[in-house]
Chain A
């Protein structure tokens, strides 16, 4: 019965197509035949080792090259970090390297006017003409003793970066090498540094964990070690519970036991309440933290009650930590579950359940800090508040816990000091364009006042010529006019620079403001370099190696381009840069490089010699020589030494600091530099804490632009599992698979609203809408979705390119395809770390178009 019904249906359904089918009967046969005979069998097929830099997991990969073309990608099985795996985004790299919109040849601008709507009118030129022009501009600065007006902007990088980013800038004579680090996740490093002395990201031992509490990270989609975590997630769920704190239902949140859809910016409140529960319920891990003294009258933490100690240790005897009682008194005693429920919008029941289960799993209980809670204004303290839970559970440096990076042995490039002449020395003395270290910019990277970069603030420096104008700038592997919040400021800043060079694969937004465009190699397929990353209790150093012959006239931006430029400078009587580069010799032959290509290879061999040279062996994997290392493509460290840092941390007290003496010293030093006190610094920098509270992990209210009345929704930015940073949008695979980000649609750019808000603002699914913030507006489609916290509107980062290529933009150079979140996110900062705020920062209103 069913069968015949179906047949009838088929008959009806296919009637319409019969005409097509019959007329096509003969043709396809012929075509099929021609395809079959045309395609020859593969004759030359091999797998070549390299590295994927689609995100900062930096997985070791292999490329299948068939007859000289890259055809397939797979994880490198020799890596103990990504274990032969690679995530979905690694494959998209094929559409990047073979992107027809890649720039083939150097170009120069012929339209002198610069601006968002100015067509640069690029024309192709030779490498010689391009480099001659750049060298002339640099020599002009040197002749006029104004080398500090030279600037180098760096985005993504390999560790060959120092050759162009550091050494070249110093030898030319400028303080202005500005990296992208502060739009990455510097605040994520702030918490670990000021509690355990590690300015770095962590690795999480999920293979041995029992509970994983994740803060605004989405490790199954984005950053870091997506391949490693994806490979072991499913099986780990057999022995670990997972709770994910995120205002939107991420894929990790759905692959978790608990989703805690926190109100944006309130993560710190939840963290303090969880710490409160761990202490009041006696769930802290005593072998790490310690316990109440046996003869103490007080033997428990009671909500609301301060604990008075005459001298430290009277009441509570800490083992590997410092300042628990101070932290309790200054922050935790009143941070009850009920208080947090009010702040976070979560139920008290859920908070209690999560906190208790988390505590009971100690010491295999991880607090996993992602960008969400910390890349916010005031995010440094949330970074501390979330990270410090690892100490309460004893997960720090422990099996099933939160680990640092393993030791590796790569070699720094030689010091440039002998090559820095008087002009360069004078130039270098000038202050940096990003204002780091000023009173309002402590940027305490590694504890030092002005120790880090404030990437996004460099735009202000350029626009206001503060401390000086920038006359000549070179930038590579970056797109600040797209990737920095309030990106319109970069459009103005770049328009202002009289001579701008962009080293890039694609004509991006940044390129549109450039005077010279230098076509660059694709990192994964055409470049020499190395990067380091860690997971699975190991660290690997993985090589980027050319696997295919470049098919256009492209060069490697970190080695070949600076070498060629150094040659041009030498011809103009300034040989210091070339002399320096020539000092980096091939360790195998002791031969100095004579060409750009030799320099690219020799400098890589130089930097990694201790890894591949058996005579220089220091640890980890051992190789017979460069050839073997190059073939394998990756070096692995020794396994992780658990608990080795307990009691030996790089803090002031050598302990894990609940009361951060390390932060106290840093803040006091910064205050002293500006002849003021710490409270004044905190006020200047928009923090709420005063007094000693500034030295403990604590909750600070989110700082959002715009009033609730005018901009009723909070914008939630997130990253796609297909984002190769911001560079996937010109790949068709990206768009046709976009619905694999839960809640998103294929071939669209959508902003997601909860049905409650959709009703409130009369928005229907599929409506064309505008998101308007206090600083800008973007257009996209509306998606009504239950996975969104009411009161928020979530939208993925990655689309909204008005340049980059035919697929990425609606109309190249003019009209974006979708909306770029950075147009509406205000330029705001966590000033203690210099980190740019992306989350919990932007209020928006939705306008139907």
Chain B
């Protein structure tokens, strides 16, 4: 076990170096995490603040150029009770970046791995598309590209004479497959993932490396998300976890998820 950890660390060091190189040539200047500053990054979702709007899901798709039908950030929602005592519940989900990530454990090529900040990262070059990780993940947050992504945007068919085909539009505006393509995503990971590999949330590692928060944290309209370092006693995530009684999804599986939930989505004060 200890041995394994060391191996991973060595690997991470190497991987980290590569990433640091990429980040340093970025147009954005911001503090880079050095090896001395290893973090255990985590996210807290305050369900009382959450309004179940799905902005996390949408901005994630936007930030990471995720194709239709695939969600790196998703949700579990259900309606419970009988009229008129009905409640609707909502839990936003994403990769839990588990300390003991089953997806990393089962990956035969180490494509799925932990980075220096505890982010469960994925390497599309190593990925063979076996989908062991998808089966191993208890949270269903890994997706597989069965076909080349963004099929719709490669279509040359147009609606009518005075309109463009998706392909024509993309070429006209200089996008990359999609016209609102975000090139920043490609700083640490393929901007659009190829066919026959898996993909999932990376805690927006490309932003984190520049000292920014993941996009879902930045743009949550109800400011429900807090992102930080569990190993830093001064970090807000630590104080929030201390203040509330957090829970995590499927804690009994021992995966040690690093996405925590606090408070209740429903404030109802009577049975519902």
Contacts and interface: CB of A to CB of B under 8 A. Distances in A.
B136 A234 contact: no
Interface in B34-80: 46, 48-55, 57-59, 61-63, 68-69, 75, 77, 79-80
Contacts of B68: 732, 736
A519 B162 CA distance: 9
Contact of B182 (A20, A72, A733, A743): A72
A315 to B, nearest CB: 38
Query: Chain B: interface residue count, which band?
Result: 35 or more
A721 B90 CA distance: 15
B81 to A, nearest CB: 6
B53 A721 contact: yes
Contacts of B62: 71-72, 91, 94
B237 interface: no
B54 A69 contact: no
A14 interface: yes
Nearest to B128: A25
A234 B173 contact: no
A6 B106 CA distance: 10
Interface string A79-104: 00000011110011011001011111
A69 B175 contact: yes
A231 B129 contact: no
B196 A20 contact: yes
B75 A10 contact: no
B194 interface: yes
Most chain B Cβ neighbours within 10 Å, of A737, A754, A785, A812:
A737
Interface string B79-117: 111111011100000000000001000100000000000
Contacts of A87: 53, 55, 221
Given A67-B174, A98-B179, A249-B86, A28 B69 contact: no
B50 A28 contact: no
A100 B166 contact: yes
Nearest to B55: A88
Interface string B235-261: 000000000000000000000000000
Interface string A314-325: 000000000000
A742 B89 CA distance: 9
Contacts of B179: 69, 98
Interface stretch (B8-16, B184-192, B226-234): B184-192
B52 A105 contact: no
Contact of A28 (B175, B178, B195): B195
A10 B132 contact: yes
A507 B224 CA distance: 39
A21 B182 contact: no
Nearest to B166: A100
B193 interface: yes
Contact of B58 (A92, A249, A254, A257): A92
A107 B222 CA distance: 43
Contacts of B50: 234
Contacts of B79: 249, 742-743, 785-787
A45 B184 CA distance: 10
A231 B221 contact: yes
B238 to A, nearest CB: 20
A261 B272 CA distance: 13
Given A32-B125, A742-B52, A258 B163 contact: no
A88 B125 contact: no
Q: Which of B55, B80, B215 counts the most chain A CB atoms within 10 A?
A: B55
A787 B159 contact: no
Interface in A259-274: 259, 261
Given A258-B268, A806-B159, A740 B52 contact: yes
Contacts of B178: 98
Contacts of A739: 77
A613 B231 CA distance: 51
Nearest to A106: B162
B162 A31 contact: no
Contact of A91 (B59, B88, B102, B132): B59
Interface stretch (A33-41, A300-308, A447-455): A33-41
Kindly list the 7 A-B residue pairs having the minimum CB-CB distance in the complex, ordered from nearest.
A234-B49, A39-B186, A31-B194, A24-B196, A98-B179, A740-B54, A35-B190
14 contacts: A32-B194, A35-B191, A88-B53, A101-B163, A220-B51, A230-B222, A235-B49, A254-B268, A257-B270, A733-B58, A740-B77, A742-B88, A743-B88, A786-B83
Interface of A: 6-7, 9-10, 13-14, 17-18, 20-22, 24-25, 27-29, 31-33, 35-36, 38-43, 45, 66-72, 74, 85-88, 91-92, 94-95, 98, 100-105, 107, 122-124, 220-221, 226-227, 230-231, 233-235, 237, 241-242, 249, 251, 254-259, 261, 507, 517, 519, 551-552, 721, 732-733, 736-737, 739-740, 742-743, 754, 756, 785-790, 805-806, 812
Given A32-B190, A98-B175, A787-B88, 19 more contacts: A14-B132, A32-B127, A35-B192, A69-B180, A71-B181, A71-B182, A92-B58, A95-B180, A100-B163, A104-B164, A234-B51, A251-B88, A256-B267, A257-B268, A736-B69, A739-B77, A740-B77, A742-B77, A742-B88
